[in-house]
A and B are shown apart, each in its own frame.
Chain A
Amino acid sequence: MHNVWLIAKREYMERIRAKSFLIMTILIPLLMGGILGGAALINGRSGSLKHIAVVTDNPQFATDFGTELSDKNQSKVGVDVYPSSKPGILTTLEEQLKAKDSTLDGYLVVVPPAASGARETFQWQPRSKADVIGRSRVADAVGATLTREKLIHSGMGAKEVEALLQPVHLDSPGKKDASAAAFGSAYGMFFLMYFVILFYGMNVARSIIEEKTSRVFEVLLATIRPEEMLAGKVIGVGAVGLTQVGIWIAVALGVIQLKLVGSDIHIFPSLSQTIFFLVFFLLGYLLYSSVAAALGAITNSEQELQQMNIFLMLPLIACSVVIFTIVTNPETMLAKAFSFFPFCTPLIMYTRIVVGKPTPFAIGFSIVELVVTIAIVLWIASRIYRVGILMYGKKPNLPEILRWLKYS
């Protein structure tokens, strides 16, 4: 164990001290923030209608429509009303729409019904054809306005109409907070796991290949066993990833705390769930790092490693396909099967613990199963590693591997 600790410590300290660690720790949140902020800015610009024109001979409709649109938008929308009789109005609006300095976002033309009793038809000309959100807002507002007018027309009072058209809220007393938080923590686990493995999983493999190319292993193997070396690498390199993610999460939580004092975000409804989250996350991370170590032991270069990447991601992708059905039905056969497949256990069993009711035995069994799988994967990886490096590219046959296994 002492040797594992030494290897892990060296790997950790060297990586944490490297300048690239500091740069990545600062740069990635900045880049992410930049991308998200930029996207939000662009969305904010294109998504909101601020100024439109309505061509209609019914001024009441235009006013109601304006109110309806402003309500939905939660911000004032400027509505210009033009009678259809105004000469050349459509051409003028079309020109305004094309002009660079105009603020007009679009115009709506109300065409009176051809026969009495039929409904008006509507033409919507937006500045940006791609603004589907704006389009549906206009359609909703037109629909609501028509309904309101018809109801009032058929004799209902304005207050009654108002009450009728209020949006419906569904209350489920007591349960609401917990279930939302449960879903939140299940998805949180999924994305954290996916992200961390995507970002750091292959680092273990890379560090093993590095050791192979620099030939340091020969000195090391003269004193320590290959399995000690691989275990040390998995722990050391893994801890670097956790440190980086830990820093980001701590900073993010700090920012949220500062901004939203008073509003409590509870991702973890209970202490036991928090503990399960940590246990399954760490075990899952260890398992995938061990698989990466095995991939590093098989391959001799970064290029070869790239092709192996899919083996690391495949189980995660499988989880991402089933997790949405499992969140809603946590006790189906499918859910149970996946929760005992070791490479999916961390995600699926945790999800089941949060939203379903697996027995304590099932939970305990899945944890033991994970630990055993990690040990087996590391053990196999260390055999491949030792045979591989000492034989100079010759592939070992089965009896040879068995003989290695026998030795202390």
Chain B
Amino acid sequence: MPIVELHNIRKVYGSKIAVEGLTLTIEPGTMFGLLGPNGSGKTTSIRMMIGMTVPDSGSVSLFGRPFVRTALHRVGYLPEERGLYKKMKVLDQLIFLGQLHGLDETLARSRSLAWCERLEISETIAKKTEELSKGMQQKIQFIASLLHEPDLIIMDEPFSGLDPVNATLLQDTLVDLRKQGKAILFSTHRMDQVEKLCDSIALISRGKLLLSGTMREVKSQYPRNHVQMVFEGSDAFLQHPGIESAKNYAGHADILLRDEPAGQHVLAAAVASGVNITRFEVIEPTLEEIFIENVRASFGDAESGGKVDA
């Protein structure tokens, strides 16, 4: 049973199409990366998923059933624009948010304390939010979205503004939750995190789905046609017909092949030409490259420059 199913949803604000024809499925126990440039409709899609806005057409199902508000007790949400009550003490705040998610006070309190311990912010619980650093506030919001042990965790840019130590702490926490069978959806611009963490991704741009599937599926669509090479000797072999384009930085060459099999031919030609090869590696395309390529294409090359934000 999929945790989230969006089917062909569409949302229009006035003349601006925020989301169009978006279909995606999130399975339990997976970490799902929702990618896209700024203003591509990620936040609108998330809001439609949890009933904060209503799609103009299409259907939203949570936990295998059409959307109902009671399902929200099983969802944890960390919005992109974060906010806490500035004057309220941390523990009171966590208990309040836990109660809103249907916990009773005792349970909300004990879980808050346990989570603060786990995320190493126990010393803050008696302080007011306004006395805390931005990173600490973010950890508190992170906790607030997990207190009620949701089966679906939605996090909009969960690691932005965190130092590497804390980012790793939260990443590890999310990985643990995935092991427990929770579905996790997060949106981010950091492709290295997506590559490391996500099982599946969806890439949207200008409100439309460009790519989706498991990480393997997505990557297998892109040819392994990029070679990095270190050599000594003449670079005449770079004129080989199997090479689309090449840049030679004094013995470090970046080579783009016409197709995958061409790699072997180029290597053979290089060996035959007598150059001394110390390294020859066929590189898998990075998610970042895939991202930029797709988003550029969606905007049309002319206007891509300033708008793509990877």
Residues of A bordering B, CB below 8 Å = 3, 6, 10, 14, 18, 214-225, 390-391, 394, 397, 403-404, 407-408
Contacts and interface: CB of A to CB of B under 8 A. Distances in A.
B52 A404 contact: no
Contacts of B99: 6
A215 B96 CA distance: 16
Contacts of A10: 88, 96
Contact of A216 (B50, B54, B72, B84): B84
Given A219-B77, A219-B78, A391-B13, 11 more contacts: A6-B100, A14-B88, A215-B79, A216-B83, A218-B79, A219-B83, A219-B141, A221-B52, A223-B72, A390-B53, A404-B54
A303 B100 CA distance: 32
Chain B at the A interface: mostly helix, strand, loop or mixed? loop
A220 B100 CA distance: 8
Contacts, number: 64
Nearest to A219: B79
Given A219-B141, A222-B79, A390-B53, A14 B85 contact: yes
A218 B13 contact: no
28 contacts: A3-B100, A6-B99, A6-B100, A10-B88, A10-B96, A214-B83, A214-B85, A215-B83, A216-B83, A217-B83, A218-B52, A219-B77, A219-B78, A219-B141, A219-B145, A220-B100, A222-B72, A222-B77, A222-B79, A223-B73, A223-B101, A224-B100, A390-B53, A397-B14, A404-B54, A407-B51, A408-B51, A408-B69
Contacts of A390: 47, 52-53
Contact of B85 (A216, A391, A403): A216
A222 B145 CA distance: 10
Given A390-B47, A394-B13, A407-B54, A219 B88 contact: no
A154 to B, nearest CB: 82
Contact of B87 (A6, A14, A215, A407): A14
Contact of A394 (B14, B69, B85): B14
Nearest to A217: B83
> What 10 pairs between A and B have smallest CB-CB spacing?
A215-B83, A216-B83, A218-B79, A222-B77, A214-B83, A215-B81, A407-B54, A223-B100, A10-B96, A223-B72
B40 to A, nearest CB: 15
Contacts of B73: 223
Contacts of A218: 52, 79, 81, 83
A407 B53 CA distance: 9
A308 to B, nearest CB: 24
Interface string B34-76: 0000000000000100111110100000000000110011010
Nearest to A406: B54
B144 interface: yes
Contacts of B196: none
A261 B90 CA distance: 50
Contacts of B85: 14, 214, 216
Interface of B: 13-14, 47, 50-54, 56, 68-69, 72-73, 75, 77-79, 81-88, 96-97, 99-101, 141, 144-145
A215 B82 contact: yes
A397 B75 CA distance: 31
A3 B102 CA distance: 9
Contacts of B54: 403-404, 407
Contact of B52 (A222, A394, A408): A222
Given A215-B81, A219-B141, A397-B14, A18 B101 contact: no
Contacts of A408: 51, 68-69
A223 B99 CA distance: 10
Contacts of B86: 214
The interface centre, meaning the residue of A14, A219, A404 with most chain B CB atoms within 10 A of its CB, is: A219
B99 to A, nearest CB: 5
A224 B77 CA distance: 13
Contacts of A222: 50, 52, 72, 75, 77, 79
A221 B53 CA distance: 10
Contacts of B77: 219, 222
B43 to A, nearest CB: 10
A18 B87 contact: yes
B230 to A, nearest CB: 51
A10 B88 CA distance: 10
Nearest to B141: A219
A217 B83 CA distance: 8
The interface centre, meaning the residue of A223, A394, A403, A407 with most chain B CB atoms within 10 A of its CB, is: A223
A241 B78 CA distance: 33
The interface centre, meaning the residue of A14, A18, A218, A407 with most chain B CB atoms within 10 A of its CB, is: A218
A394 B78 CA distance: 24
